[in-house]
């Protein structure tokens, strides 16, 4: 009897989790796909979803922290940061295995530097984050074009092997990113920094009056977001056989979409990391499903839009009670 009540309470608590809906949607879409293919390739599709979802999650974590800072906070420079960091690190590594650590540090440093630049624009020049990060993305995208001139340099062989390796069907990179997500969950909920981010997002003025270092927290968040974008550019270049000028393009919307579909509040002050994974898998599986059904491009795009609206409405309906 007591056990049944505990189970019921657990089920209720689980249903209250905003991230549940993203995972449920991902599962349903996957199910629809393998019903269509009569069970063929279900495991491989999941494996591919994990591999490609990884990149959205890495940039999604940074974007989620930024968005959680409250209304108006968003980083639009993620694609340019990825491209710049990817191009710079690939060029410096010059396919040498011995340079991988140096390349990684370069990518992270590029990201961090762009983050500092972004926050400089926001704080010192008092430019709204949307405008500041958009304009800095022009600067760094152009820098990447000038630096790389469209040159696609292959990653060092060991890096390419590492980023595409799988253990029992699970991409190693995805496992690493799950660990990263766990760490960032602990940081969000258990550290002074993480709680400051949430407090600022809920009410920046109250946070400031209660003695939270608002400026410093925002600074750290923008730098971290850009650094993660740099990391993503680095591993994505390894995964896809080199850095290209348009490699970051799809991550502008993807980084925001996984945050929103994952159940994080766009208004800030309320974040959750597991939802990023659910949303990233959902986004990949959705495209796969529509491709598998063989629908025309127009219908595919309309369906994508409608399904995303449905998921956000269903998931958002729960959190408005808060």
Q: What is the largest CA-CA distance in the chain?
A: 69
Task: Indicate which single residue of 25, 26, 49, 108 sits in contact with another protein (rule: CB under 8 A).
Answer: 49
Specify the residue, 145 or 213, whose C-beta has the smaller distance to another protein: 145
- Of 166 and 195, the one with the shorter C-beta distance to another protein is 166
DSSP-assigned letter for residue 151 = -
Which of 95, 202, 203, 292 binds another protein (CB under 8 A)? It is 292
Structure tokens at 29: 């879409």
Q: How far apart are CA 219 and CA 121, in angstroms?
A: 11
For residues 294, 287, 83, 262, the Cα torsion angle rounded to the nearest 10 degrees is: 170
Residue entry with tokens 């995805």: 174
Position among 20, 92, 147, 152 found at the interface with another protein (CB under 8 A) = 152
Among 35, 94, 301, 314, binds another protein (CB under 8 A): 301
- Answer for which of 14, 124, 167, 297 binds another protein (CB under 8 A) is 297
CB of 136 within 8 A of CB of 114? yes
Token pair of 162, please?
């590492």
Closer CB to another protein, 220 or 307, in the complex: 307
Return the residues of window 232-251 that contact another protein according to CB under 8 A.
Answer: 236, 240-242, 244-247, 249-250
Cβ neighbours of 61 (radius 10 Å): 28
Structure tokens at 319: 């959190």
CA 62/CA 271 separation, integer angstroms: 12
Give the whole-angstrom CA distance, residue 4 versus residue 27. Answer: 26
Check residue 68 for interaction with another protein (CB under 8 A). no
Helix (H/G/I), strand (E/B), else coil: 150: coil
- Nearest CB to another protein, comparing residues 167 and 297: 297
- 94 φ, ψ (degrees, to nearest 5): 45, 45
Site string for another protein, 269-288 (x = CB under 8 A): ---------------xx-xx
User: Please, which residue, 41 or 316, has the CB nearer to another protein?
Assistant: 41
- For another protein, which residue of 20, 28, 48, 303 counts as binding (CB under 8 A)? 48
Pick the stretch among 66-74, 192-200, 220-228, 289-297 that binds another protein (CB under 8 A): 289-297
Q: Backbone phi, then psi, for 288, in 5-degree steps?
A: -60, -45
Kindly state the smallest distance separating residue 51's Cβ from another protein, in Å.
7
Task: Kindly tell me which of 92 and 145 has the beta carbon lying closer to another protein.
Answer: 145
Residue 54 within binding range of another protein, rule CB under 8 A? no
Count of residues that interact with another protein, criterion CB under 8 A: 44
Verify binding: residue 26, another protein, rule CB under 8 A: no
Burial of 12 (0-12, 13-18, 19+ CB in 10 A): exposed
Nearest of 91, 59, 99, 51 to residue 77 by alpha carbon: 59
Sketch the per residue contact string, 174 through 203, with another protein: x for CB under 8 A, - otherwise: ------------------------------
Q: Verify binding: residue 141, another protein, rule CB under 8 A.
A: yes
150 binds another protein (CB under 8 A): yes
CB-CB contact of 200 with 69 (8 Å): yes
- Told to check if 294 binds another protein by CB under 8 A, we report yes
With CA atoms as reference, report the closest residue to 212 among 116, 70, 63.
Answer: 70
> Rule CB under 8 A: which residues touch another protein?
33, 36-37, 40-45, 48-49, 51-52, 138, 141, 145, 148-153, 164, 236, 240-242, 244-247, 249-250, 284-285, 287-288, 291-292, 294, 297-298, 300-301
């Amino acid at each position: 009897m007591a056990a049944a009540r505990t189970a019921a309470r657990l089920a209720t608590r689980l249903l209250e989790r905003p991230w549940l809906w993203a995972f449920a949607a991902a599962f349903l879409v996957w199910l629809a796909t393998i019903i269509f293919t009569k069970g063929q390739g279900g495991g491989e599709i999941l494996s591919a979803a994990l591999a490609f979802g990884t990149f959205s999650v890495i940039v999604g974590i940074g974007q989620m922290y930024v968005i959680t800072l409250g209304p108006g906070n968003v980083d639009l420079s993620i694609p340019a940061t990825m491209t710049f960091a990817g191009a710079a690190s690939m060029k410096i590594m010059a396919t040498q295995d011995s340079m991988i650590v140096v390349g990684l540090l370069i990518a992270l440093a590029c990201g961090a530097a762009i983050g500092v630049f972004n926050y400089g624009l926001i704080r010192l020049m008092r430019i709204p984050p949307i405008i500041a990060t958009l304009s800095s993305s022009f600067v760094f995208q152009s820098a990447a074009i000038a630096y790389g001139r469209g040159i696609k340099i292959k990653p060092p062989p060991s890096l390419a092997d590492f980023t595409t390796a799988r253990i029992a069907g699970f991409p190693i990179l995805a496992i690493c990113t799950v660990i990263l997500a766990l760490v960032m969950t602990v940081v969000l909920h258990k550290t002074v920094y993480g709680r400051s981010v949430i407090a600022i997002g809920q009410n920046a003025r109250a946070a400031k009056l209660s003695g939270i270092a608002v400026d410093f927290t925002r600074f750290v968040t923008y730098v971290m977001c850009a650094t993660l974008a740099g990391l993503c550019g680095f591993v994505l270049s390894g995964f896809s056989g080199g850095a290209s000028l348009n490699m970051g393009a799809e991550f502008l919307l993807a980084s925001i979409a996984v945050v929103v579909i994952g159940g994080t509040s766009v208004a800030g002050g309320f974040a959750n990391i597991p939802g990023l994974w659910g949303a990233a898998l959902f986004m990949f599986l959705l495209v796969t499903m529509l491709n598998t059904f063989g629908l025309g491009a127009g219908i595919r795009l309309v369906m994508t839009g409608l399904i995303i609206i449905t998921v956000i409405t269903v998931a958002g309906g729960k959190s408005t009670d808060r």
